[in-house]
Structure 1
Amino acid sequence: MATHATMPTRRRSQARTPERHGHTALAWAMPLALGVIVGFWAFFINRDGGATTGGQIWLGVVSGVAFAVLCFALVQVRWALPRELRAAAFGALTGGAVGFLSSLNGNSVLTSSAIGLALAVGMSCVMFYVYYTRED
């Protein structure tokens, strides 16, 4: 009379994956904070110790908003991308931002591109390592 111990149970054929929503406080706060940092950085690099002008303020606001929007968009679609493309996207965002800020500092286009490319490759490698070791 031990049949109750061997009765089959109903189980799911696939494991449930957690729902990933980008509407948490961190999903809004992190791109906003990074956008503010990039905006102030662009403003202060362009200001160069002189008097503040409206063009410098607009440069800081536009670059900060653009970076925050791109960062927020990347955070929203990151789980739909494979890990290699996700790492490359974060690397491209970082390298593009640093290359832009480097060009504002008065560096040549070639120097700014090299700095941005070096940081993009480095960030891509770091993000790939993080995703590769923490997924599955």
Structure 2
Amino acid sequence: MAHALPRSGRSAETGRDTTLDVFGPRTHLVAKWAVPVLAGLVYGYWAAANRRHGGPVTGWNLLFGFMTTIAFVVLYAVVRAVAERLPREGHAVLWGAFAGSALGFLYAQSGVAMFTAILTSLLLAAAVTAMLFYRYYTSEDAQGHRIT
């Protein structure tokens, strides 16, 4: 038996927001900071592992991993805060540049040629920018207001 899916957005009858929000405001606040911190920890570990090339873990390697984690989390928070205020084109370019830079830094730590790391990061940045521009373009009206 087929069932109709609930619609999200504004109700035509009442004009109120009918979007279903499963989690409360506290859960959203925790996730807003837990996701970048956990992603930063994974990123810092990955960068430190690439840098030591399979050798032993040293104090300098741990310091490098934690400093990379802090830099990643701070940059992620800055990009998230700034991107919200930009139009869809700038929003997509900023996240694409962040993703490309993050990959380029990780790839450069593995010891490959710099040209290879730059080319790979530019390709990822272009792909992320194109994907996000499409997403933002299809979820906004003509004036640039987000459609939820």
Does the alignment reach a TM-score above 0.5?
Answer: yes
Cα RMSD over matched residues?
Answer: 1.3
Aligned partners of 2:76, 2:51: CA distance in 1, in Å? 22
Aligned partners of 1:28, 1:135: CA distance in 2, in Å? 26
Q: Do residues 29 (structure 1) and 34 (structure 2) align?
A: yes
- Cα offset, 1:105, TM superposition: 0.6
What corresponds to 2:46 in structure 1?
41
What corresponds to 1:120 in structure 2?
125
Aligned partners of 2:47, 2:70: CA distance in 1, in Å? 12
Aligned partners of 1:69, 1:82: CA distance in 2, in Å? 22
What corresponds to 1:18 in structure 2?
none
Moved over 4 A (4+): none
Aligned partners of 1:25, 1:135: CA distance in 2, in Å? 27
What corresponds to 1:14 in structure 2?
none
- Cα offset, 1:47, TM superposition: 2.2
The answer as to whether partners of 1:27 and 1:72 remain within 8 angstroms in 2 is no
Q: Do residues 108 (structure 1) and 113 (structure 2) align?
A: yes
Q: TM-score, normalised by structure 2?
A: 0.72
Aligned mate of 1:78, from 58, 83, 88:
83
What corresponds to 1:68 in structure 2?
73
SS class of match (1:129)? helix
Aligned partners of 1:33, 1:127: CA distance in 2, in Å? 22
Aligned partners of 2:37, 2:136: CA distance in 1, in Å? 23
Aligned partners of 1:135, 1:103: CA distance in 2, in Å? 37
Aligned partners of 2:137, 2:117: CA distance in 1, in Å? 30
- Cα offset, 1:108, TM superposition: 1.1
Aligned partners of 1:26, 1:128: CA distance in 2, in Å? 24
Q: Any gaps of 5 or more consecutive residues in structure 1?
A: 1-22
- Cα offset, 1:131, TM superposition: 1.0
Q: TM-score, normalised by structure 1?
A: 0.78
Q: Any gaps of 5 or more consecutive residues in structure 2?
A: 1-27, 142-148
The sequence identity of aligned pairs, in percent, is 38
